[in-house]
């Protein structure tokens, strides 16, 4: 369970980081899921930052899980 939570946290973090890189440079266009969500609209930078913080929080919480 610890490894699954850490993997999910890393994927969420990666999506947030890729979203910011896409917003700033235009790279990772096909990689990010945020870009494909219509309801996000002009708030992609904010959503990317929230995803980064959430991913880090999930990875930290995964370290606290006892096996």
Domain ranges of the chain: 2-64
CA distance linking residue 44 with residue 51, whole number of Å: 10
Res 54: pLDDT: 97
What is this structure's pTM? 0.86
Res 61: pLDDT: 94
- Could you read off the pLDDT tens digit of each residue along the chain, which spans 67 residues? 889 999 999 999 999 999 898 888 887 777 788 878 888 888 888 999 999 999 999 999 999 887 7
Res 10: pLDDT: 96
CA distance linking residue 3 with residue 42, whole number of Å: 34
């Amino acid at each position: 369970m610890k490894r699954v939570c850490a993997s999910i946290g890393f994927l969420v973090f990666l999506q947030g980081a890729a979203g910011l890189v896409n917003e700033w440079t235009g790279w990772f266009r096909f990689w990010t899921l945020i870009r494909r969500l219509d309801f996000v609209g002009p708030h992609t930078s904010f959503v990317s930052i929230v995803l980064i913080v959430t991913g880090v929080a999930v990875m930290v919480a995964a370290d606290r899980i006892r096996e």
